Structure 1
Amino acid sequence: MPIKREMRGFYPIDWRELSRSIRFRRAKGRCDHCRRPHGALICVSEDGAWWDESAAVWLDRRGRTLRNARPAPSDLAPSIPVSWTRVWLACAHLDHDLANNASSNLAALCQRCHLNHDRPEHRRRRRERWMASKALGDLFDGPYR
């Protein structure tokens, strides 16, 4: 994921190499949470299961093989809704602290897992911005009704 211009100062100078090392050496080009391969175009069913082309099996959201057998995407009936998506890996800070670049705090996550991991932090920041806007209004305009 691209780094916002105002956040670039918080990352180390060698972030690009560090990120590449986590994503491709340690994680071997697969998401640490769901095992989706970087750069691959994958078939995803509406329940979140996805087709792993290299193993020729359906995997669940956590990267585990599904118990119920499903046919390959090419053999699925046209009435079964599936979507195709390209997977991109990013290096994520697990504790959301950009200064903590320890290997144990970094994970290679696909875009889906990265957004799911960051969801509570995004909610917290959104609420914080909302509360700050209300406080600023109270300061100049009096309390909101």
Structure 2
Amino acid sequence: MPILARHRWLYPIDWRELSVSIRFRRAGGRCETCGRPHGREVLHFGDGLWWDEDARTWRCGKGKRHRRLPPPHSTIQPMRRTRVFLSTCHLDHDPQNNAPGNLAALCQRCHLLHDAPEHRRRRAVTVRARRALGDLFEGPYG
């Protein structure tokens, strides 16, 4: 995910190289939570269960093998196909803390799940700020 221009100053000047190092050297081009491979399309059901073509098995959202389903060519359940892109995630949501233990290579799904509580918190702050601004200029809401 691209960094917003207003937040770019929070990141170090060598962020690109650091991100590549985390995603491809340390994580080996796979999500560190679920194991999805970068740049490839995976079949999935949308609930975290996905087909690992390399291991020829289904995996859950935590990357563990799931043995109860047949291979995708023999199942009649509707599946989705998604291209996986890895991004480097700050585990404590602080872009200035670039310690290796604070960074993780995550796919889109795992990154959104990790950031969901922070997104809800920020949304609540934004809503309160807009409401306060509305009260300031237009009077209290009805």
> Under TM normalisation by the shorter chain, which class is it?
over 0.9
Structure 1: runs of 5+ lacking an equivalent: none
SS in 2 for 1:42: strand
Alignment counterpart, residue 91 of structure 1, candidates 80, 88, 93? 88
TM-score using structure 2 length: 0.95
Query: Alignment partner for residue 129 of structure 2, among 123, 129, 132?
Result: 132
Question: Contact between 2:33 and 2:110, CA under 8 Å: does it hold in 1?
Answer: yes
Q: Which residue of 1 aligns with 2:7?
A: 7
Q: CA deviation at 1:115?
A: 0.7
Report deviation, 1:47: 3.8
Contact 1:11 1:98 in 2 (8 A): yes
Look up the match of 1:142. 139
TM-score (norm: length of structure 1): 0.93
Deviates most, 46-55 or 81-90: 46-55
- Find the partner of 1:102 among 99, 103, 108: 99
Q: Distance in 1 between matches of 2:113 and 2:122?
A: 15
Distance 2:47 2:90 in 1: 27
Q: How far did residue 46 of structure 1 move? A: 4.5
SS of equivalent residue, structure 2 residue 66: coil
Share of identical aligned residues, percent? 58
Q: Give how far 1:40 is off.
A: 1.1
CA distance in 2, matches of 1:2, 1:139: 34
Which 5+ residue runs of structure 2 have no aligned equivalent?
Answer: none
Partner of 2:109: 112
